[in-house]
Structure 1
């Protein structure tokens, strides 16, 4: 099992990273939370989870242990795979996920693309006690605004990778940018677009 990678950040995208570890490039799938946390770092240490299937070995990366733990909690639920786990973590912050589970807020969890009512209820039912035992997750990331053209292109790329159709993604992004002015970050834009698309 690969517990973490420490190396040079070769490529960074809202949905993945490529980390060079002693000349070997590792392709790592990430959430928006991790993307925001690594910002402009060149050398990084990223916690990882290796998902092994019959036809593939896929690495998932996390900037914090609490994010990795939440991901592992989510994928332990029947019907929630790694892609859905990352979608949840890209749409909601760790504290929002935790709060929704503890307060049994099905609507918030169901607002994530790909999560239906039954899956949302299953997540709450199976994780409620575990989350209460683990305690409160603290948020500790501040983001700086980027130019609209860059942010729009990166958000569109991320949404397409996450399975949103291009026309719906573009319409959602344009609408959010029009209403937000210059104050929105890439992470906020993608989260809002995921909820609106």
Structure 2
């Protein structure tokens, strides 16, 4: 298993990074906020989880080992695969997920795309008592500065998480209004703000 990857980001997309490790390009799927925090050509270090199936080997990367461990633990829940586990960590931090599970907060869990009430109840039941307190902080590269195109980047990231184009566009408009038209400090911050709007 590949538990971590360190190298140069040779390609950065909305939800994936190609990390050049001594001439070998590794495609790593990440939460949008992690990808947004990586710059092309900069060194990155990610905690990773490898999913091996009959027809594929897929690498998932996170800013910290605690996020990776939560991603793997989430998949022990009946009906939760890598895609739903990734959506969980794209919307909720490990701490927020732990708090929601501990409090049996179904409303918070159903804010995640792809998780309905029954799925949220199953997650709360099967993860109760299993999620550790995860310290904050990450090992990703410094966050990339948002440019005038941050709206498109955030909209595409939200659509990739499962929100409709209309929902995504409206959330981005609200973020723009809330900042009085100012450009957010980085795409990751803008994405988190948009997710908070959609959670209202």
Bin the TM-score by the shorter chain.
Answer: 0.7 to 0.9
Partner of 1:129, secondary structure, is coil
Q: CA RMSD in A?
A: 2.5
Alignment length (residue pairs): 193
TM-score by length of 1: 0.84
1:139 corresponds to 2:136: yes
CA 1:51 to 1:60, structure 2 compared with 1: closer, same or farther past 3 Å? same
Q: Deviations over 1:87-138 (max 9, x none)?
A: 111111221111111111111111111111111111111111112xx3x223
| Match of residue 163 from structure 2 | 164
The match for 1:189 is: 190
The SS at the match of 2:128 is helix
- RCO (CA 8 Å, sep 6+): is it higher in 1 or 2? 2
What TM-score comes out, normalization by structure 2 length? Answer: 0.83
Checking the alignment, whether the CA contact within 8 Å between 1:92 and 1:191 is kept in structure 2 is no
For residues 145 and 45 of structure 1, the distance between their equivalents in structure 2, rounded to whole angstroms, comes to 19
Structure 1 segment 19-168 matched on structure 2, within 5 A: 19-35=19-35, 38=38, 42-131=42-131, 134=132, 136-140=133-137, 146-147=146-147, 149-168=148-167
- Give the equivalent residue in structure 2 for 1:179: 178
Cα pair 1:154 1:186 within 8 Å, conserved: yes
> Are the equivalent residues in 1 in contact too, given 2:11–2:40 (CA < 8 A)?
no
> Structure 1 residues 54, 120: CA separation in 2 closer, same or farther (over 3 Å shift)?
same
- 1:27-79 C-alpha deviation (Å, 9 max, x unpaired): 11001353366568812221211112233221100121100111011111111
